Amino acid sequence: MKRTLGLCTLLLYFSSVFSQTSGSWTPDLGNGNFTNPLMWGDWPDPDIIRVDDKFYFISTSMHYVPGCPIAVSSDLVNWEMGGYAVSRYEEDPRYDLKGGDMYLSGSWAATLRYHNGTFYAGFCTPKMESKEGHFSICSAKNINGPWTRTIFPEFLYDPGLFFDDDGRVYVAHGQQTLYITELNSDVKSVKVPQRKIYDNPGFPYLEGSHLYKVNKKYYILGSTGGTRGKVVCLRSDNIYGPYESKVVMQDDHTYPGNGLHQGGMVQLKDGAWWSIIMQDRGPIGRVPNLEPVTWIDDWPIFGKNGIGVDTFPKPININAPVTVPASSDEFNAPTLALQWQWNHNPDNSKWSLTGRSGYLRLKAGKAATLFQAVNTLSQRVEGPYSTGSIEMDISSMKDNDVAGLGIFQLPYAYVAVRQTNGKKTIVMAQNDSTIAVVNLKQTKIWFKANVNEKGFVATFAYSVNGKDFLPIGNELKMGLGLDWTANRFALFNFNTGLSTTATGGHVDINWFRR
């Protein structure tokens, strides 16, 4: 019998910060304190706002669809998914894996603001083949959507949206050389083209701008030095400068070599300020930390004297349950749970949650490799350890179908069922090169993938009874061949031998559990 899991709430009454039972990291220690990281997974380029008693956190998601994930919290420590600002990308057929792919494109450096009853989410989309691209603003009255997207012809790199006291709207953007562009009041077009405001070669790759106004002064938070970087703050009495600068955080003690370096800050109702900034943790992803902010001589100093905190009192000590963004899914709902994202725009004719009640049905599309396959459904891996398992009905597969569970990035690996000449085998493969094969006669199979941050390795196993798992193949040494994008659990079904008119079979996945 299938079990029914709560979407986001996991009651954890013990002091351990990681539970193999729940399979999800939580920073809440249950005693009024929290520990970093805030989310031990890939939530890059964070921005944060407060609206009344709720906090909203937005993250970059690159090529994954839907894009720009938004999480919600009441205390800055416990989070659950709220939705996405982008349902799909329509501006290029390659987002449908037609005529190429758009890996690493999509949404970069998301910015989030709230003004006059409307949420605004912005991001840039670089063209990977050039230094150009475009900028988008999505708007909605409710954080859960629906969202309306406006694509600007201008390319505003790493944008920071800002509404001034007089109603004027600005975007801070750029890399090392920073600019201010003024938008029209409807936030749908540019009013005043970009004006250069800052350029300091001493801060290479200064990017990730977040623009604020505090006590009549303008502040721009940015990151310099990339992965090994630090947080720089610019300050001016005028939106167009001149700006003076100060390093407000430089610390890598929690992950030596990689500094805490990009993110936003927010003011609480009690007047205190806090920041969420990220730290690159290799193939696990760009991981956010929660840091107190102390104002010293009108500068926001992050952490404790510019050093990140490990364990610290929670910003708001309310009696709220411990929550984490959902991971497990029984596929009982008529719509996909919010933890899932496709590798590109999905082909909606080839997947279903209603074709068989309580199952995710994936129909095989034509692809030579997993990298080229549409409708690969993914979610984040986590540190320090995470595991994902599935139960899959394979009775309706056809020849040349390959369906299973993978860890997706470059390189990638998977454990799957492959059908050839009417016979099914279990295969473990890396980058589609077969490592191990096991004969299979039954129509139901269980797969498991295990991820360990130590050494960044993933291993795979299978079971023919749902209880006893046997290892298969070798370890995957997880990498970052797709820059700035973490490894992910992946569910897939593709066919390597289809003609343009033929159709593949399908598999029914009963659940994914962490």
CATH code for position 418: 2.60.120.200
Mean per-residue pLDDT, 399-413:
98
Distance CA 74, CA 289 (A): 17
Is it the case that residue 197 has pLDDT exceeding 70?
yes
Residues 433, 286 share a domain: no
Is it the case that residue 403 has pLDDT exceeding 70?
yes
Residues 169, 65 share a domain: yes
Which phi and psi (to 5°) does residue 441 adopt?
A: -120, -15
pLDDT of residue 132: 82
Which residues have a catalytic role annotated? Answer: 45, 207
Is it the case that residue 3 has pLDDT exceeding 50?
no
State the pTM of this model. Answer: 0.93
Distance CA 401, CA 366 (A): 9
Average confidence score pLDDT of the chain: 93
Mean per-residue pLDDT, 423-431:
98
Residues 472, 423 share a domain: yes
Residues 157, 64 share a domain: yes
What is the CATH number for 206? 2.115.10.20
Q: Is 320 inside any structural domain?
A: no
Residues 283, 202 share a domain: yes
Residues 46, 158 share a domain: yes
Contact partners, residue 14, CB within 8 Å, separation at least 6 = 30
pLDDT of residue 1: 41
Is it the case that residue 19 has pLDDT exceeding 80?
no
CA 390, distance to chain mean position in Å, is 22
Digit-coded pLDDT (tens) for 161-196: 999 999 999 999 999 999 999 999 999 999 999 999
Is it the case that residue 8 has pLDDT exceeding 70?
no
Mean per-residue pLDDT, 392-405:
98
Range of the domain at 452: 341-513
DSSP 303: T
Residues 369, 289 share a domain: no
pLDDT of residue 303: 97
Quickly state the pLDDT bin for 317 (edges 50, 70, 90). confident
* Residues constituting the chain: 514
Is it the case that residue 4 has pLDDT exceeding 70?
no
Distance CA 197, CA 237 (A): 13
pLDDT of residue 131: 67
Which is more confident, 275 or 4?
Answer: 275
Q: Is 296 inside any structural domain?
A: yes
Q: Is 212 inside any structural domain?
A: yes
Mean per-residue pLDDT, 442-461:
97
Residues 369, 277 share a domain: no
Quickly state the pLDDT bin for 22 (edges 50, 70, 90). very low
Contact partners, residue 33, CB within 8 Å, separation at least 6 = 311, 312, 313, 314
Q: Is 12 inside any structural domain?
A: no
Q: Is 333 inside any structural domain?
A: no
Digit-coded pLDDT (tens) for 30-49: 999 999 999 999 999 999 99
Digit-coded pLDDT (tens) for 232-257: 999 999 999 999 999 999 999 999 99
Digit-coded pLDDT (tens) for 71-106: 999 999 999 999 999 999 999 999 999 999 999 999
Mean per-residue pLDDT, 148-159:
97
